[in-house]
Amino acid sequence: MPPRVTVLLLAYHDAPFLGEAIESVLAQTYTDFALVVDDASTGASLAVVERYRDRRLRLIVNPVNVGTGGSHNRGLAATTSEYVVQLDGNDIGFPDRIARQVQFLDEHPEVAVVGSQATIVDVHGRTIGEMWRPTTDLGIRWCDMFQSPLVHSNTALRRAPPNQSILCGELA
């Protein structure tokens, strides 16, 4: 039986940060997930991924860099889990992130995607800012007119039923 959650960890030349990103996923309190790492990284980034020997880790290497949207679509095509959690190769998640997002989606079947706020840190791990997104319906609708109301790397989404598809794109 496939895991309930797939974590799509999209990495492209993120070697200095990728180990911490992977470890933040492997240390989650919610453990019924598969971790998919993707996006044509070579050299040092690929070597970081190959150090991990966890049965939940699956590496997909694009033959060429296709960007976040293309990599996300490829990752979606490679999984059948109920939920998909996104994380970028230079980000980390709090240990209860997946558990909290899965619980919210389980309790709110009408919701397709859930996000969270973000703390911005520098390369030394020092907090240098916060990324706040609205949490009310009106706030989300207002924000959506000007920018994404979601922090991409903090989202969890409900997969589309088999007869539907979800495709991601990037704005130029």
Summarised one tens digit per residue, pLDDT across range 99-143 is 999 999 999 988 888 988 888 888 888 989 998 888 888 888 898
Kindly report which listed range (12-26, 61-75, 78-92) carries the lowest average pLDDT score.
61-75
Q: Span 84-111, mean pLDDT? A: 93
Question: Phi then psi for 11, rounded to 5 degrees?
Answer: -130, 140
pLDDT for the residue numbered 2: 85
* Domains delineated in the chain: 5-117+150-158 (3.90.550.10)
167, HSE (Cβ side, Cα atoms, 13 Å): 3
**C-alpha span between 117 and 99 (Å, rounded):** 16
- Residue 161: what pLDDT? 53
Q: How confident is the model at residue 32 (pLDDT cuts 50, 70, 90)?
A: very high
Whole-prediction pTM:
0.84
